[in-house]
Chains A and B, each alone.
Chain A
């Protein structure tokens, strides 16, 4: 099944089996392993990517449905060597332990800030409720997203999530 996908601003041609998920194509055909496998059923958020501005579970999305969508993975958030404000904030707050769920959390947060420049804490909790973290860094991650929103507000610019 030949597909042309738009991943992190580039057209990528792949030829996966018809049953392949977007997650499988990212990890196994394109080597974009920063998007993690967690549950395969959209329950944990480890595999989230941004599709047309929204955070979605790439494990549930058939690869063929990703055609005609702008897909941004964790590898595509930084621009020209500059981290996305959410990435910067996660480092600054050390909002990680094992880091396995971090890609998905950052994707959810970046998608949130793309549509709401100044989310309050409750909004952040709701937006990231699909991202499970077993190590328990929820409090730090909330602080990191608040910090990213502030930084963004200070610069008066929206963090781009697609290009």
Chain B
């Protein structure tokens, strides 16, 4: 790594930071600014972070898996430390003072107060360059001024004043609007497009039929949509080439069946979760400007370099002639891993010879964007006479979780994420079955982890009750990892877990270890007499290693819990033969201000001696199980199917004849 790939100290003393990661609201721009300000010893206000611009940032594979801070923090800190050390060397020569006597303060270098030189003065003739050593020493902890300090988002002022520019707010000269004619069923191709009516409509610039893209470019969006609706199109139904089910063993110990057969107690259960929508509040959008001297893509994307290659490939252009310039984005939770809307805008721009903005409608977003797959999770466990789990059989049936499609090489990490429980179990079999689906499924926050952890943490709760053990104590018997034990015990402590509550109230526990981040939660619910579940309070203790921005971590984890509570109680993407039926917020309700818990208390207790790990996803992972376990505690209803509707709660609460 060369310093100039990551950090540029400008002649005015400001600092520009380059990263291939993307900001969707996770707060990484703020965290990166803090990391660099810390090591470079500059005010955070002087740091500007450039994210994902393929013309300016080093290659990055993508923003997913809550890896941004984990992957970028070491590189950015080393680059900044190297920059600081280089500047001190230059200052020594400039001031005629030995480097050992010089120190940095707020972007200046000197020996005491009298003779100080600004960073900008030291780069005016020669910009910072050079290879950053792997073992570049970092600033000692007593000098830290930004890492570990709570910060509001650096974009906050732009956001609250409306100045923030999102993808659909890009306004460049000559900008036209595009609308896509959608087929009656996904994957159908147009065999004939009659554009006679559309071409005569107001504002229409071009009607485009190029491969899978059929659309209209017009001066205004309403004109483009009206003309797209007026196209007379013959569609050819897609051929259904169902891929075979992939069976991927994730853990296969010998003797599972034998141990199950001889266990003192065995239990089996099946858990189901429906497909759910990413549900970005801002529907997908892109502005693409295809020109003879180069193509610019203004987009939201998890993979700027992947998007560059996808657009270049679709247009038959060399990748280096395409620049992806990521804009601020509505939270997309994985949805922008697919290049679809940018490819559409690119094809329209190429034919119309104008920059084109395409923004999907709300109905298009629900019907045509990828959703989280369904999951059916079958689990059987055996307990020995001492009450410990000795055998575990787990089959996860789901669909592909990534926009790239099924790939057996990564299935364990994607569709099988967190299928292997964090518990010490002597004999376990965990098998992933990735099945075909008529739905378009792809990346969504935490991939399969939220589904798997719902099943595992619900089932462990069931095993505890079946064997008359306290659910927390039962779990702890199977946890060796000290950091996991600590968050579990801490959340029990701060929540007063085990306190007796009133009628139809209960608390449930769940935990996870997700990509190196430890999370334990307690949810408290109240049930109405008719079975409606209300989440009153959630407590969470999270250990993401060294914490860069404690309030940023809290915000992410709170949001994850809130979003997951919405999945758990409300959300289900209904579909028939691959066509999504729930295409509005009316038919696909999510949690509102009225549903928000009274409090979500997140304690950020990172192990500062451990590397930073991510927080964008882990907070959302255990919440469904914590809520389901709380429902059981409140009324004895074990609901194994998400969402936890009142009908399901009532049905599960009915006493079953033994």
* Residues of A that sit less than 8 Å from B by CB: 16-17, 19-20, 24, 27-28, 31-41, 43-44, 46, 73-75, 77-78, 83, 87, 90-92, 94, 96-103, 106, 124-126, 128-142
Contacts of B329 in A (CB 8 A): 98, 100
What's the least CB distance linking A15 to chain B, in Å? 12
- Check if B592 sits within 8 Å of A94, measured CB to CB: no
Say yes or no for B594: interface residue by CB 8 A criterion.
Answer: yes
Task: Choose from B171, B283, B596 the contact partner of A37 (Cβ within 8 Å).
Answer: B283
Asked whether A17 lies within 8 Å of B594 as measured between CB atoms, the reply is no
CB neighbours of B153 from chain A (8 A): 94, 96, 99
A122 to chain B: closest CB distance in Å?
9
Contact segment of B21-29, B71-79, B347-355: B21-29
CB A8 to nearest CB in B, in angstroms, measures 11
Q: Given A28-B220, A46-B282, does the pair A134, B331 have CB atoms closer than 8 Å?
A: yes
Cα A99 to Cα B93 with chains together (Å): 46
Within the complex, the shortest CB–CB distance from A36 to chain B, in Å, comes to 6
The answer for the CA separation of A132 and B279 in the assembled complex, in Å, is: 10
Known: A99-B155, A103-B162, A132-B281. 17 other contacts (CB 8 A): A16-B220, A32-B162, A34-B163, A36-B281, A38-B362, A39-B584, A44-B585, A94-B153, A94-B552, A98-B24, A98-B281, A98-B330, A102-B159, A130-B592, A133-B281, A134-B590, A139-B597
Asked if B333 lies at the interface with its beta carbon under 8 angstroms from chain A, I say yes
Tell me the smallest distance from the CB of A82 to a CB of chain B, in Å: 11
Once the chains bind, are A39 and B222 in contact (CB under 8 Å)? Answer: no
Contacts of B591 in A (CB 8 A): 136, 138
* B559 contacts A by Cβ under 8 Å: yes
> Taking CB as reference atom, which chain A residue is nearest B559?
A136
Q: Which of A38, A43, A78 has the most CB of B within 10 A?
A: A38
A98's closest neighbor in chain B, by CB?
Answer: B25
| A contacts with B: majority SS | loop
Given A129-B592, A136-B562, verify A99-B164 contact (CB < 8 Å): yes
Identify which of residues 314-354 in chain B touch chain A, using a CB-to-CB cut-off of 8 Å: 328-331, 333
Chain A residues with Cβ under 8 A from B173's Cβ? none
A136, B359: Cβ atoms closer than 8 Å: no
Q: Which residues of B contact A (CB under 8 A)?
A: 24-27, 152-153, 155-157, 159-166, 168-169, 171, 202-203, 220-223, 279-283, 328-331, 333, 359, 361-362, 551-552, 555-556, 558-563, 566, 584-586, 590-594, 596-597, 599-600
A34 and B584 contact, Cβ closer than 8 Å, known pairs A17-B223, A94-B156, A96-B153: no
A52 to chain B, nearest CB (A): 20
Cβ-defined contact, A91 with B152, below 8 A: yes
With contacts A36-B166, A87-B160, A139-B600 known, is A125 near B593, CB below 8 A? yes
Closest residue on chain A to residue B561 by CB atoms: A136
When A37-B168, A38-B282, A136-B563 are in contact, do A100 and B160 touch as well, CB less than 8 Å? no
- Taking CB atoms, residues of chain B closer than 8 Å to A134 are 279-281, 330-331, 333, 563, 590
In the complex formed, the residue of A with least CB distance to B361 is A40
Residue of B164, B223, B359, B596 touching A139 (CB-CB under 8 A): B596
Q: When A and B form their complex, which 6 residue pairs have the shortest distance between CB atoms, in order from nearest?
A: A34-B162, A136-B562, A98-B25, A74-B162, A97-B25, A99-B159
> Can you give 9 A-B contacts (C-beta < 8 A)?
A16-B220, A17-B202, A37-B359, A91-B160, A100-B329, A101-B281, A133-B281, A137-B562, A139-B597
Nearest A-chain residue to B177, judged by Cβ = A28
- Determine if B157 and A91 form an interchain contact, defined as CB atoms under 8 angstroms apart: yes
Contact call A135/B559, Cβ cutoff below 8 A:
yes
A97→B590 CA distance, assembly (Å):
17
A139 and B593 CA atoms in complex are apart in Å by: 8
